[in-house]
Structure 1
Amino acid sequence: MGGQASDELNLRDLAGVLRARWRVVFLVFLICVIAAAAATALLPIRYFAAALVFVDVSRKDLLDPTYHTLNGNSESARVDSEVEILGSDGVLMQTIQSEVLVEDPEFNPPPGMWRRLREAAGEDVEPFSAETAAGLVLARFRDAISVHRRGQTHVISVGVRSRDAAKAARLATALARIYIANQLDTKIGNLRAARDIIAMQAEEARASLIRAETAFGRFVFDNLDEIVALSGRAELREKQQRIAALAAERLELANQLTALRERIGAQNRTVFAEAATFQPPKVTEPARFKLDEGDLTVALREQVSSMTAALDAAEISVATERQALASAVMTTTLPPHILAQLYGLQQAARNETANYQALLARSVDLETQASLQMADSRIVSAALTPANPSFPNVTLVLALSCVGGLGLGVISAFVLENMAGGFTSVEQMQSVLGQSLCVALPFEKRPLNGFSVAHAIDGSRSSAFVSAVQRLRTTVDVAQLKMAGAAQLQDATGRVTLVASSVAGEGRSTIALALARTYALSGMQVLIIDGHRGPGGVQRLLGVETASQMEDMSFKRWPTVEDFRAFALKDPHSSAVLVSARTDVPRPTLDPLIAAARQLFDHIIIDGPPVDEIVEGVGLPARADTIVVVARAGRTAQAKVLASIHRLSAFMQSATDPVVVLSQTPKARG
């Protein structure tokens, strides 16, 4: 059965479906928009504020501004690393502590409903620990922030979402500032850690220098007798004696200064003991130090100062004399083995001196850099208080709901059209049903006199409806030609055509009457069989209550022309005649009547009941040569039409294609 379904997309069909189902499209569209508006009104409002941080990735030395290196890959990796650092838990936790977010209901809300119900029920609910509470606040704050790099630039966007616009701007700026402060502290801490390491190395170098100088002086002193004997310079011994005298004087001054300080300490302890007897107020360490200094007499202070100055002068004198002695020894003519040792010791002292001086210079350099250090990142745009909420975006939500609602409405219209909707054009009908024999009958207004639109078929008028009925007749003939062949069709008489529909109200009786009149006006003998079980159908269109029951003749004898004339009702507008027949009459009773009608009439048109009322194996449909299935445009469900075609085809003895009629189509599309 049927031809091949068309794969082409007919825009007119699509427009027809939308026009027929515009109410469905509008209803779905309206529901989507209302749902989106309601959701927008119920969702909590969130404000978003963002600060912009610029990361200077160039490596620079503040004491040498011209020193820097640039590397594209390293720069990009550095910025990505800073993004991760900025969003790390450590920076977030510092921000939480700085802004006291643990007391903010937005980030540390009260216990949930389930917890409150358990507490109200008297259950012993363990309170959250400080670590757990801080973890919950951290998790909520982490969800509220947005840290990302702006494209491939060196700018990082630091954003915070909050229910309060001012709070969002404040937290975003605070997060950026804490990150920058941590970056600066890290840089300064690294420099000072390096300084401390170098200071330790400098102290070790100083000790090495002292050992080298001491070794040189000890060698000179230990070998001075031999040096004097070999060189003959007696003044070297005088220098040695002067150094020894200065060293003894320095030792005496040191002992006196130590004794003086012990005396001062004993005096202070006595003062504190007396003060303790009177139970004075508690004194802090700084106050105790001030008390020590305040209790020193002016004389003791001056004595300590003078002795300290004398000790320093003695140190300088000893060092000067030793240097002079070493210089004098080095200018003396000595044996090679002594000179080699002297030069070796002197060079070792010089190396230690150079190393010590370099470490001191580097330590001072690091301290200077630490004091002048600046962060590599800076805020180029502080977060501003947003004027409008970022969530929900009412404009975007409504726009998406409109687009989505329109699309969903169109989809719903097509789904409904395919599942429960009707056809809108012959092309669509051919494509869906796979039938090539399809005819469209345009909508025709009922005449003012109340008669059926089939009365337009009277041979005197011409209209779109009349032309469409004539095309229907031609299509029925084509269907019969496919079944019997041209020669048989030319000589054949008594062809039976069943006009059926899926449901009532499709215009089935009107089409049956119009088709019968078209055949009758061409000179054929036409019999119309009204197959309705009760009043209605063609009888109602002709204005009669009940026509004679055709099956009543079967109980007398084989019907003759006179019998049909006696029982039949003549159509006032053509030569066609009408009888009534029940479709539930058994075939053994009905077959003789149909066979007699075939001999007496050229064409028998059966106005059948809805397909659902047809019982398989009995009645008129089993004797039909051609089936005309009527479907009302935009109303009869496509699935019902397809099911009706399959059901009726199962009743037919011939394997001809049915003729499908799309009734009451708009005239513009007929």
Structure 2
Amino acid sequence: MEKFSQIENVQGASRTSWADVQEDREADLLHVLYVLRRHLQMIIGVTAFGVLVAILFCLFMKPRYEGMADLNVHPEESAALDMGALGDLATGAGGLDWSSKLETQARILKSDTLAWDVISQLRLDQNEAFATKSLFGRSLQTPVGKDVSSVDEARKSKLLTRFSKALRVEAVPKTQVIEIRFRSTDPALAAKVVNTLTSSYMHHNFMTRFEATMQASAWLQQRLTELKNNVEESQRKLAEYQSKANIIGTDETDNLAVSDLTDVSKQLTDAESDRIMKEAKYRLAQTGNPELIGTILPDSVLPVLRSQEADLRNQLAQYSTKFGSNYPKVIQLNNQLAQTDASLKKEIRDIEERFRTEYESAKRTEDQLRASVENRKKEAFSQSAKFSQYDILKNEVASGRSLYEDLLRKLNEAGIAAGLKSTNVDVIDPSAVPQLPVLPNVPLFIALGLFGGAFLGVCSAFVKESIDQTISSPEDAEEMAGISTIGLIPHFSMEGLNALATENQSVLARVPLAADRPQSKLAEAFRALRTSLLLANAGAPPKVIMITSAQPGDGKSTVSVNISAVLAQSGARVLLVDADLRRGVLARNLKVMPEGGLSECLAGRKSWRDLIIPVNGVANMWVLPAGHRPPSPADLFTSNKMEEILNEWRGAFDHVVIDTPPVVAVTDGVVLSQKTDAVLLIARASRTGRHPLRHARMLLAKVRANVVGLVVNDFDAKAKYYGYSYSYDKYYVEDKTETTVNN
């Protein structure tokens, strides 16, 4: 984009659109609309195809019905009995949040176990609506009369897969509800499957809880017997030890040593807190900061001394400023300030000493109490040693008895739970037979076909646009080059050229047909180009006109010959110069026999007046061939000789048309463009690449060439990609035979 901005600066305010049209083409809205309009027919066709596919799909698809039921899963038992942790043990759901528990139950509903239970109960393996041949598979039906157990594993797996695809189980967010849906071509079967699955799930839920409760009951009974024996043995050991150690009616905490230890420990805690406070005050006093010390000792004289010091310093500053340092009052204030500072420091030292004394006293008290605590600890440990084994045995008995009682209670609960047919699942709404199919959803499918087809069509348009790198219309060329189209050369068929060559052998493919066939629409196109060219420059028409292209084969030589012919027909003296010193073709196309050409003139070996040749059939038109190929054509064009010859041509002819090589391939045309009055850039429809054309325009803009316009060659006027057609037929009568000059 920086290159395009440079071109804009060079061309001036009148060509500001040059930078605008070169903005990011993929994101630019105008470019998007341009692509959509260009490929509108294809987009409409693909969209119509998408709608047609959706309609056909709806027509050929069998209607599918959906049965639906809602289950309410309670977080507690449906019965009013609170089973506590035993309920979690039975359901296997302990430790999960409620959302996870609902997802677990939904997964159980989708399990293969319940699915096969439903298939077996309803004999779906023999049901035509469920087990008949699918679109891409074989029939899964079991012959009538055979038991469901005869289904082999491979067919069973396929039946389960088909059942799973038709089933949908979802936990409704922020509720205790699980929604069950099943789709089938038979509405009655859809409802029956949902209701059967609900019953199977509730039975499975009950049996799972019942079996878990019975297992817990058996385990509790076994553990209860073991615990009872352990408790009896622990009580026997406790009685024997109590008798042996003579322990009667007391325990390890009921003694004087423990009570004494408790009191001394409390005193130690208080002494430690007192020491910490006094140590903190002492540390603050050590800083010597009067302000900090004043906060912990507000009744001291420090605030008074600090106030006196501030007042003396204020007076000293005022008198010193006004009378100087030798003034008696200043000397007196200095003495008073020194005395106040001394008093302040002495007071701080006194306070620090007092805090130090208090801190050391508190530290000694704390140390004494700490030592007393340690002594009493030893006494307590000594007195309590004989109670250790007693407490161990006593705790063992208590814990054993507690565990025994708890297990006995849970055993009774397990017995009650095993005798109850309770479940925590309720059916909110059983499935009714659906009356309307859920598929095909005709409006939805048609809308999807419409939007899908439109999306695919738009994507195809942009893919096609990105693949096609050639220009296809004047608008396309203008967008790439950033300049206006001032000429449009129509397409002619090769068959017409062959017929014309048979009638008149002197007329060849690239002779000035605009002069030979003046009534053709080709001739009119070149006359229209002549008018635009003569009006391109403000003031006088351009004398020296350079014609170039981005790449070979764009038809620049054809345009050069024919524009020279129509300029000569207007009465002007015209010189056609072949400046393609590498591959000049004008002499061969015009069937002239040159003795030299432009290269000899620039080398100084011959004069151009001796080398120009009149063109047969066109008055006032001469051609200067390219001549022999020099070693460095670009150097010749930059020489002073070229400037001298151009000045001579300006005086001798009304118009000089210079046919140059493609500017992207070599620099000859770029060099010559700086010496001409006007430059025509030729682009051939459906052949000239977009990027070469844009690059050619940039090269010419860099050297400030006066590119007056763009000529689109070989344009098919019958193409109507843009809502209109280019045609001259209604105004001009064409000869019987069409010709082509676009190659």
Give the alignment's TM-score, normalised by structure 1. Answer: 0.49
Give the alignment's TM-score, normalised by structure 2. Answer: 0.45
